[in-house]
């Protein structure tokens, strides 16, 4: 069997191969005899005649390349090793750089077709979980219970193409028996034996696993156990652990999914809630404005009615004044002045200013859901000639006339003087006019009769 400078055809180093053989002996694996190996090689009709590895359409190092001078075909790995040396088969001169030697595509396609019949191409890894027995870079998929070796699907098919191996049984690689570890106590310089014992002794400070030979040195009086049952027990424990981890994984994923859902829904929920908030405040705004507009309409109507009343009063006053002035100028009709007094007495009164506030003094309530609040302060009439004067505080004319039947001048003068001193709030509401009068110009139900004052 030709040996490449680095690895054996199996992909193992020499040391690894020896260790594997020893392990095989320990686990009673029948090793392949030389005849079996060469038969296998022959059954793999298409292989490199230098390294005996099967050509591959997948692995770069095993792609077939043909030397242009003679047409002999070798794997890419061996062509690179050749490096301008003569052809190993016919010794013809070869003066082409390795990377310029062309790939034999016809052969490679043929290999590809042959190999697809033997299952999917192997998973190539630098450090597979279970290396294929035929190639240490293949991830194994199955385990031959007869060869007691793991294989990738293709290598299993290749290795078992011989008639006498056809009835080998295989199981999924996960179900393969446990691998006995190498003994860590075996002295350097010789290949380690399989550590078939496990030492559970309390206080044992040695390596817990050992081969037969080292057991007598390191665990002389210790009660050691076979390692295999221990491995099986531990395997079950680790399997349970994996289940727990997977359970956790599932939970975390589910939670994560749930959170993602929350996040997805957040946008929808947000726009929904914002729409509701907007709607709510739109309604409030609409109601407040409607209420305010209604209030303003009512106030305007009240002012208009009062103005109409004023116009009527002005006309009546003008008439009375004209007649009185005429009487004084003509010095006529002075024998019967009762009619003048009666006419003046009958003049329509006007509302006290207290009922009519400047609208900018109305205060909106904080939530604006009800009518604006009336100001507490009494309004003043602006008189350009004097300081602002409080609404004249007048004693009802009716009472004066009733008391002594005469019109008193001095009373009016004193009223004007005292009006400056009296504070707004102290001005007592005085009743002056009849009920029918006030109802004439006040459309609102809550007519403030108490505040009505008659002015002369
Ligand atoms: Zn080769
Ligand atoms: Zn050749
Ligand atoms: Zn087998
Ligand atoms: Zn393989
Ligand atoms: Zn040992
Ligand atoms: Zn021990």
ipTM metric? 0.63
In this prediction, residue 10 carries a pLDDT of 58
What pLDDT score does 377 carry?
Answer: 65
Ligand having the closest approach to the CA of 166 = 3
Rounded distance from Cα 82 to ligand 1 centre (Å): 10
Q: Counting ligands in written order, which one lies closest to the CA of residue 182?
A: 5
- Cα(148) to centroid of ligand 3, in Å? 7
State the pLDDT at residue 330. Answer: 92
Q: Check residue 118 and give its pLDDT.
A: 74
Digit-by-digit pLDDT tens for the chain (456 residues) are 444 445 555 566 655 655 555 444 444 334 444 444 444 444 455 788 888 887 888 778 889 999 998 999 999 999 999 888 899 999 998 888 888 999 999 988 887 777 677 778 889 999 999 999 988 999 999 999 999 999 999 889 888 877 888 899 999 999 999 889 999 989 888 888 999 999 998 889 888 999 999 999 999 889 999 999 999 999 999 999 999 999 999 999 999 999 999 998 998 889 999 999 999 999 999 999 999 999 999 989 988 988 888 888 888 889 999 999 999 999 988 888 898 898 888 876 654 555 777 878 888 888 888 888 877 766 555 544 444 434 444 444 443 333 444 444 443 343 334 334 434 444 444 443 334 443 344 444 444 443 444 444
Q: How far is the CA of 182 from the centre of ligand 6 (A)?
A: 16
pLDDT value at residue 14: 58
Distance 225 CA to ligand 6 centre (A): 10
Quick one: pLDDT at residue 101? 92
73 Cα–ligand 1 center, Å: 9
The three-state (H, E, C) secondary structure of the chain, written as one string: CCCCCCCCCCCCCHHHHHHHHHHHHHCCCCCCCHHHHHHHHHHCCCECCCCCCECCCCCHHHCEEECCCCCCEEEHHHHHHHCCCCCCCCCCCCCCCHHHCCECHHHHHHHHHHHHHCCCCCCECCCCCCECCCCCCEECCEEECCCCEEECHHHHHHHCCCHHHCCCCEEEHHHCCCCCCECCCCCCCCCCCECCEECCCCCCCCCCEECHHHHHHHCCCCCCEEHHHHHHHHHHHHHHHHHHHHHHHHHHHHHHHHHHHHHHHHHHHHHHHHHHHHHHHHHHHHHHHHHHHHHHHHHHHHHHHHHHHHHHHHHHHHHHHHHHHHHHHHCCCCCCCHHHHHHHHCCCCCCCHHHCCCHHHCECCCCCCCCCECCCCCCEECCCCCCCEECCCCCCHHHHHHHHCCCCHHHHHHHHHHHCCCCCCCCCCCCCCCHHHHHHHCCCCCCCHHHCCCCC
Q: Which residue segments constitute the domains of the chain, with CATH numbers given?
A: 14-175 (3.30.40.10), 179-223 (no CATH), 234-451 (no CATH)
């Amino acid at each position: 069997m030709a040996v490449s400078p680095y690895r054996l055809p199996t992909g193992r180093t020499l040391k690894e191969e020896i260790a594997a053989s020893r392990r095989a002996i320990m686990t009673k694996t029948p090793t392949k005899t030389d005849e079996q190996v060469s038969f296998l090689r022959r059954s793999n009709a298409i292989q490199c005649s230098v390294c005996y590895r099967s050509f591959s359409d997948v692995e770069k190092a095993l792609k077939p390349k043909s030397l242009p001078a003679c047409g002999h075909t070798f794997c890419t790995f061996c062509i690179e090793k050749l490096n301008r040396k003569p052809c190993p088969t016919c010794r013809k001169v070869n003066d082409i750089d390795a990377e310029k030697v062309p790939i034999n595509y016809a052969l490679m396609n043929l290999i590809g077709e042959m190999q697809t019949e033997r299952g999917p191409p192997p998973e190539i890894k630098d450090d597979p979980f279970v290396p294929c027995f035929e190639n240490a870079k293949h991830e194994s998929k199955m385990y031959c219970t007869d060869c007691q070796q793991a294989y990738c699907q293709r290598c299993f098919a290749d290795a078992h193409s011989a008639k006498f191996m056809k009835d080998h049984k295989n199981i999924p690689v996960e179900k393969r028996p446990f691998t006995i570890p190498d003994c860590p106590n075996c002295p350097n310089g010789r290949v380690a034996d399989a550590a078939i014992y496990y030492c559970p002794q309390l206080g044992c400070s040695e390596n817990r696993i050992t081969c037969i030979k080292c057991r007598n040195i390191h665990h002389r009086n210790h009660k050691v156990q076979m390692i295999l049952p221990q491995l099986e027990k531990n395997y079950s424990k680790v399997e349970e652990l994996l289940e727990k981890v997977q359970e956790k994984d599932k939970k975390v994923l589910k939670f994560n999914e749930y959170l993602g859902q929350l996040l997805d829904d957040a946008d929808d929920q947000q726009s929904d809630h914002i729409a509701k908030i907007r709607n709510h405040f739109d309604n409030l705004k609409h109601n407040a404005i409607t209420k305010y507009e209604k209030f303003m309409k009512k106030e305007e109507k009240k002012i208009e009615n009062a103005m109409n009343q004023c116009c009527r009063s002005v006309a009546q006053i003008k008439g009375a004044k004209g007649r009185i002035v005429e009487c004084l100028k003509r010095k006529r009709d002075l024998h019967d002045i009762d009619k003048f007094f009666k006419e003046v007495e009958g003049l329509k009164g006007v509302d006290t200013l207290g009922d009519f506030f400047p609208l900018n003094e109305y205060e909106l309530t904080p939530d604006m859901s009800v009518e604006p609040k009336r100001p507490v302060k009494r309004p003043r009439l602006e008189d350009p000639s004097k300081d602002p004067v409080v609404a004249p505080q007048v004693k009802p004319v009716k009472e004066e006339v009733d008391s002594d039947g005469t019109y008193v001048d001095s009373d009016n003068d004193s009223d004007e003087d005292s009006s400056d001193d009296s504070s707004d709030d102290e001005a007592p509401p005085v009743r002056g006019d009849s009920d029918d009068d006030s109802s004439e110009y006040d459309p609102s139900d809550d007519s403030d009769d108490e505040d009505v004052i008659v002015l002369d």
